[in-house]
Structure 1
Amino acid sequence: MYITEIKRIVDQVSRDKGIDRDILIQAIEEAIKSAARKRFGHRIELEISYNQQNGELEVYQYLEVVEEVENPETQISLKDGRKLDPECEIGDSLGIKLDTEQFGRIAAQSAKQIIIQKMKEAERSAVYANYIDHKGDIINGIVQRIEHGDLIVNLGQAEAILKTDQQIPKETYRRGDRIRAYIMDVLDPEKKEGVETAKRTFRGPQIILSRTHPNFLIHLFKTEVPEISEGVVQIKGAARDPGIRAKIAVTSTDSDIDPVGACVGVKGSRVQNVVQELRGEKIDIVLWHIDPARFVCNALAPAQITRVIIDEINRSMEVIVPDEFLSIAIGKKGQNVKLAHKLTGWKLDVKSEKQYAEIMEKNLAQLASIEDVGAELAAILHQKGLFSLEDLFHATEEDLMVMTGIDSDRAARIIAQVQELQSSRTRKKSGKEAAPGPAGSEQVIS
């Protein structure tokens, strides 16, 4: 690398990589200073100056004027000093311009390596500054190369990486293919701490892409559906089994606008554009509802729901469906219920009406077997919402008296018997949770 090439290098790198010229010049000055010290020693005092107009780089070595020279690296005699500056005196500091061609091959190579390193650091900082505001957006690029299954994507002024686990299964790309992806993260080269520290590597691209993230699906709908951009239709959430099936929940701020219809489009045109981008991924567009039970029912469609039992404390629901809809509600390999769980945030336990009836019958017999309960009182307890021994365990004497009309003595005996049965169960279930939570509210879905 010759000094005369510096201006051309600075101009080209600044233009192509979007790096500030001052950062590049500072890197070059540091590199030349390092090379000069390797050539002339580490104790010399140097000053580097760069003329941005003509690209000239000047290196000055400063020497102290002394009567008798003891260290030629830092001192110059008065006699030799006056040859350079006739007016110099002892104690003055004289700047002597060095010939950069004297640095030698090794020093020049060292300077080149430092310049490359500094340029990479500056480039990474520029990439972060340019793309951090685009985190969470969709971006288009071209597949530049493939490394161990990971795609390196050219975005123009930077490279991004689409790792294997962020690619839709079974989709394939070749070099030169256009690709659309979601910017999942932009790594900060200055950040050394955080949850992702172990995964951070700055040998490769800083921009992390994804085609499997639920937000990729959300942004695709935002692109296809004008009502979403206008705020009339809102997306409340999304869940995906990438490449196979997805669910997206929508609602409308305008009662005259059907949010599901808006996302589907005329003859399914809008949703089909999204499906094509996701390589045939089937998409269920779900109507969001403020009532969690109704929302869960919508999320489990096309299965019909007859009743939902809600446990607010554990944020779970027991969903009862007609026998013929059990397989539909659960889905292939449990896919439908898993996606509904991710979309709604509720734990879901789906049962058929036959299974539910068998459980209720078993629980009823269990209640009736308690000495002071019997079949008649067990039936009343069932009608009042106490379906099992666990439900009764969390009831109080006052609850039983109000629900059934029994006296306080009988209520106390029932509570004592239930507690004894529950304690016996606890001793048998070593290491397991002793008492399940109280029964949830039941909602019949018409």
Structure 2
Amino acid sequence: MAITAANQLELLQTAEAVAREKMIDPDLVIQAMEESLARAAKSRYGAEMDIRVSIDRKTGKATFTRVRTVVADEELENYQAELTVEQAKQYLDDPQIGDTIVDEVPPVDLGRIAAQSAKQVILQKVREAERDRQYEEFKDRVGTIINGVVKREEYGNIIVDIGRGEAILRRNEKIGRESYRPNDRIRAYVKDVRRETRGPQVFLSRTAPEFMAELFKMEVPEIYDGIIEIKAVARDPGSRAKIGVISHDNSIDPVGACVGMRGSRVQAVVGELQGEKIDIIPWNEDQATFLVNALQPAEVSKVVIDEEAGKIEVVVPDEQLSLAIGRRGQNVRLASQLTGLDIDILTEAEESARRQAEFAERTKLFVDALDIDEFFAQLLVAEGFTSLEEVAYVDMDELLSIEGVDEGTAEELQARARDVIEEQNRKALEAAREMGVEQSLFDFEGLTPQMIEALAKDGIKTLEDFATCADWELAGGWTTVDGARVKDDGLLEKFDVSLEEAQNLIMTARIQLGWVDPSELEAEDEGEAEDTEEEAEA
């Protein structure tokens, strides 16, 4: 198959037709043709030759050329594509290293195999161009809603025609048990667009919280205009959802605007989400107030926030417990997702019993350790003292503010508390040494003897052992297993070591051991601070 004048224009027509069909630049198709013809020519003239093909964009004429590069004598390796300065003098007057010599060679007559090979190269290049075009088109649509038509189902995943390409809706991104048939119209959220070997993959989702937020943006003009802002979304796809909204205009009620006249706006979103019930909640900067709103329709008696641990305790009337928790824990789980806090729900009776137990435990501690009567111990607990350390090292004025405590009594209380603490520390040190704790851990600032004893019981006996610990191993925390929250007890949790304090202790140990460069940490902190400032300005 030689390229004659008769079919030169046909090359251009073919390139334009393919480009039009695949919606890519015609020049990319011609470049693919040039490469395929060059490869076929190499098989005819020799693989080591640098054969190049140029197709005229107006006439379709293909020009075959051989290119040779001038190199230094010692660098000459490929005699077919390179030549020395001396050899180049017969072609150029003053050849320099790096100059090229271009000679036109006769066009090749493509055999059946060469033609097939050329066709494969063209198809491959066209596919690559098509993939690039699809990726460039859809990469900027991440985070938006897209409409498409169902093409087919593969292993539970839905393949969607989105116009100039295909997208995939995985089965775990579908709502509940919804099913689709070919040619059904579908609306979904573009979760991700990635380059993959088989082409750009557009991943859709109908379960993402952002999908609901975007639907509200489409239905509520005030959200689209920025007057109302969606602050948080929590979903149990297909069942229930909670959405926190705030209005930047005092004259507009954010909840009413999202609900719409006779519920028209929210019903449009509910219909798209297969009947998912939506609670629209007014956002409040005060976490306690926002949580009380988030737990509706349950009534809340009291909220106790532990900011260090990122936990929150909610006390509800006994008859409101099941309502607050919700079916299979749904209500409290969504409220937890909405606030970003771990929520513990207690009834008033449970909270009262726990407070009484804590009161009795602390009273007994002071009675046994300080050798005082029960009434005096209860008085200390009622004034907010929770440990011997607080009694021993608190400012004297705080003890003198307790009714019936004079200076002599206060000094005696502190002396007894310090004696007990010193004795406990002495016993803890002895026990730790017997367990083989190294001096490096004793010398580490920030750990008390009783903490060291607790660490030793768990096999942590050197500073290196301590530096390999995770913060939650020391301070404790919560993990979710099969949908249920499970408590992880921390080695130093009983000493009231917070997660932040645990992080600081571990990092200090790593710095002392030379595992971490403090200057790098400072640079990271400065970078994070700058990012925070930029976000605040934005």
Deviations 1:18-64 (A, max 9, x none): 32233332222112211222233213442311122344434345799
- The alpha carbon displacement at 1:430 in A equals 5.2
In structure 2, distance between residues paired with 1:130 and 1:174: 27
Q: Paired residue for 1:413, among 411, 416, 431?
A: 416
Alpha carbons of structure 1 residues 62 and 325: separation in structure 2 relative to 1, 3 Å: closer
Using the size of structure 2 for normalisation, the TM-score is 0.67
Q: 1:264 aligned to 2:262? A: no
Using the size of structure 1 for normalisation, the TM-score is 0.80
Q: Paired residue for 1:341, among 336, 341, 352?
A: 336
Work out whether residues 61 and 98 of structure 1, in 8 Å CA contact, stay in contact via their aligned partners in 2. Answer: no
Q: Paired residue for 2:206, among 206, 211, 228?
A: 211
Unaligned runs of 5+ in 2: 70-79, 82-88, 93-101, 429-449, 459-489, 499-538
Residue type of the alignment partner of 1:97:
P
Q: Paired residue for 1:35, among 35, 40, 43?
A: 40
Higher-helix-fraction structure: 2
In structure 1, distance between residues paired with 2:249 and 2:419: 56
- What is the aligned-residue identity percentage? 42
Alpha carbons of structure 1 residues 394 and 126: separation in structure 2 relative to 1, 3 Å: farther
- Root-mean-square deviation (CA, aligned residues, Å) is 3.4
- The alpha carbon displacement at 1:12 in A equals 3.0
Deviations 1:401-428 (A, max 9, x none): 266364133145357658959959x859
Deviations 1:308-331 (A, max 9, x none): 111111121111111111111112
Residue type of the alignment partner of 2:416:
R
Alpha carbons of structure 1 residues 151 and 429: separation in structure 2 relative to 1, 3 Å: farther
Residue 243 of structure 1 aligns to a residue in which SS?
coil
Work out whether residues 39 and 107 of structure 1, in 8 Å CA contact, stay in contact via their aligned partners in 2. Answer: no
Deviations 1:322-346 (A, max 9, x none): 1111111112222211211111111
Alpha carbons of structure 1 residues 154 and 311: separation in structure 2 relative to 1, 3 Å: same
Q: Paired residue for 2:154, among 132, 147, 162?
A: 147
Q: 1:127 aligned to 2:134? A: yes
Unaligned runs of 5+ in 1: 65-72, 75-88, 190-200, 440-446
- The alpha carbon displacement at 1:274 in A equals 0.7
Residue 111 of structure 2 aligns to a residue in which SS?
helix
Deviations 1:267-288 (A, max 9, x none): 2111111111111111111111
- The alpha carbon displacement at 1:383 in A equals 4.6
Q: What is the correspondence of 1:271-286 to structure 2 with a 5 Å cutoff? A: 271-286=266-281
Alpha carbons of structure 1 residues 248 and 307: separation in structure 2 relative to 1, 3 Å: same
Q: 1:322 aligned to 2:317? A: yes
In structure 2, distance between residues paired with 1:359 and 1:392: 21
In structure 2, distance between residues paired with 1:344 and 1:164: 28
Aligned to 1:181: 188
Deviations 1:207-247 (A, max 9, x none): 11111111111000000111111221111011111111111
Q: Paired residue for 1:50, among 31, 55, 74?
A: 55
Q: Paired residue for 1:397, among 391, 394, 398?
A: 394
Q: Paired residue for 1:332, among 309, 327, 339?
A: 327
Residue type of the alignment partner of 2:258:
C
Work out whether residues 455 and 491 of structure 2, in 8 Å CA contact, stay in contact via their aligned partners in 1. Answer: no
Alpha carbons of structure 1 residues 336 and 430: separation in structure 2 relative to 1, 3 Å: farther
Aligned to 2:13: 8
Alpha carbons of structure 1 residues 145 and 430: separation in structure 2 relative to 1, 3 Å: farther
Alpha carbons of structure 1 residues 56 and 173: separation in structure 2 relative to 1, 3 Å: farther
Residue type of the alignment partner of 1:404:
I
Deviations 1:115-148 (A, max 9, x none): 2221222122112221222211111111122222
Work out whether residues 397 and 415 of structure 1, in 8 Å CA contact, stay in contact via their aligned partners in 2. Answer: no
Residue 433 of structure 1 aligns to a residue in which SS?
coil
* Matched pairs, number: 403
Work out whether residues 310 and 316 of structure 1, in 8 Å CA contact, stay in contact via their aligned partners in 2. Answer: yes
Residue 302 of structure 1 aligns to a residue in which SS?
coil
Work out whether residues 124 and 206 of structure 1, in 8 Å CA contact, stay in contact via their aligned partners in 2. Answer: no
Residue 143 of structure 2 aligns to a residue in which SS?
coil
Residue type of the alignment partner of 2:12:
K
Work out whether residues 384 and 403 of structure 1, in 8 Å CA contact, stay in contact via their aligned partners in 2. Answer: no
Work out whether residues 367 and 374 of structure 1, in 8 Å CA contact, stay in contact via their aligned partners in 2. Answer: no
In structure 1, distance between residues paired with 2:220 and 2:91: 78
Residue type of the alignment partner of 2:402:
T
Q: Paired residue for 2:105, among 86, 96, 100?
A: 96
Aligned to 2:444: none
